[in-house]
Amino acid sequence: MLPIQTLRDHAADVATALKKRGIDAEAMVEEILELDEKRRSLQAEVDATLAEANRISKEIGVLYKSGKGAEANALKEESGKLKEKSKALGEDLTTAAEALQQALYQLPNAPHPSVPDGQDDSDNEVVKEVGERPDMGKDAQPHWELASQYDLIDFELGVKITGAGFPVYKGKGARLQRALISYFLDYNTAAGYQEVQVPHLVNEASGMGTGQLPDKEGQMYEITADNLYLIPTAEVPVTNMLRDEILERSSFPIKYTGYTPCFRREAGSYGAHVRGLNRLHQFDKVEIVRVEHPANSYAALDQMVAHVEGLLTALGLPYRILRLCGGDLGFTAALTYDFEIWSAGQGRWLEVSSVSNFEAFQANRLKLRYRDEDNKTQLAHTLNGSALALPRVLAGLLENFQEEDGIRIPEVLQPYTGFAKISQE
């Protein structure tokens, strides 16, 4: 959530920035500032009441020692009234603080000035396009047909076991999945990201910390008996490793990478654009997460974008980079770049990565701070990106590298797969 001090100091700027999201936030910001003023006023009254009660308590002790019992008893009655007042004020303060917190939770992050105006994904800005799109003509097959032809993925078996959106990878299809995960992790660790293995279930505090809750409950699988959630991305457990931490300045940059399965209830409509691997309820993804000093977070974002570019270049996939417009920007992000690869079998672009800077938005929820040069605590900046999400990368590999006698495997993956081509057995 946005730091309250940012709203106090820059209310008009925040409201203007949020217009890029299509939100008229002036009333929301005004309400938050009114709640903040009420909370601060109550806090001041609580502090003053407690200070007066403490002063009287000391005076009562002095009076008793001086043998002035009658005066001391009179003050005890006044002290009792102050304690009752303090308790009532404390309850009002708790209510006001909770109301302020809930209002802050409803306000999305303010977009960075470079975020384009726009209402939806059709208004996203194409930053660059790299690589030639293969022209296979009418012979190009979509990945679901290739997966069936070469017995790589069984979608119907997944429906039998669980339901739609839970495919079963088989044989060389499973081996290719494992190869991609291993290659992505090795590539990331070679760039200085520390590999971590994290839980695939998180508690409510973790969901709140990275902004999945209370915004996206409907998209997450919940284990109601234990009040736990299946993770929608490794970003959630990895970033929460640093929840409630105070870092030293020398700790930056902090760089993590991890592989996890991801679970998303998001349904989907019907049609080719969600067929096969295009949209799943369970999928594999390798994530990179960085925690940075605020002065370096946008340089770090550029480095992460270049890092993901390197992965796609090594795989030989044609790709493009988009800067998301305000209307397509995620709730917690200040700036996001999406990566899309060309799907030769479907004739369209497929998203395979989002790389985002959240600035202090997540850190404020997480209470993730660092000590500055004056030994004061400040909020850190958090960033994350997919490096990479597997389903559509796999779809792109099958479709773009299909040949008459099989599917060619990129050279960088061959040490991991143990084969250079997928062909009919």
What phi and psi values does residue 278 have, to the nearest 5 degrees? -65, -35
Strand partners, 273: none
127 is in an annotated binding site: no
Annotated binding residue 59: no
Q: Which positions ≥6 away from 17 have C-beta within 8 Å?
A: 110, 111, 113
d(CA 125, CA 109): 20
In sequence order, which residues have a C-beta less than 8 Å from that of residue 233 and are 6 or more positions away? 260, 262, 285, 287, 384, 386
Place of tokens 């017995």: 151
d(CA 323, CA 338): 7
Question: What are the DSSP calls for 163-206, one per residue?
Answer: -TT--EE-HHHHHHHHHHHHHHHHHHHHTTPEE----SEEEHHH
Cis bond before residue 253 (omega within 30° of 0): yes
Q: What angle do CA 315, 172, 155 make, to 5 degrees?
A: 100
Q: CA 56 to CA 362: how far, in whole Å?
A: 44
Is position 233 annotated in a ligand binding site? Answer: yes
Query: Taking phi first (over 0 means left), then psi (-120 to 50 degrees means alpha), and beta for anything else, what does residue 347 get?
Result: left
240 appears as a binding residue in the annotation: no
Sheet of 282-292: strands edge to edge? 125-130, 319-323, 335-343, 348-357, 381-389, 282-292, 254-263, 194-195
Is residue 384 marked as binding? yes
In this structure, the strands spanning 406-408 and 421-422 are antiparallel
Instruction: Please name every residue paired with 377 in a beta bridge, in sequence order, or none if there are none.
Output: 371
Element (H, E) at 349: strand 348-357
Length of the chain: 425
Question: Residue 287 annotated as binding?
Answer: yes
* β-strand pairing of 282-292 with 348-357: unpaired
State the Cα–Cα distance between residues 5 and 3, nearest whole angstrom.
5
Please give the Cα distance from 362 to 381 (Å, whole number): 8
3-state secondary structure 41-89: HHHHHHHHHHHHHHHHHHHHHHHHHCCCHHHHHHHHHHHHHHHHHHHHH
Distance of CA 90 to the CA centre of its chain: 34
Residues that constitute the known binding site: 233, 264-266, 287, 351-354, 384
Residues that constitute the known binding site for ATP: 264-266, 351-354
Residues that constitute the known binding site for L-serine: 233, 264, 287, 384
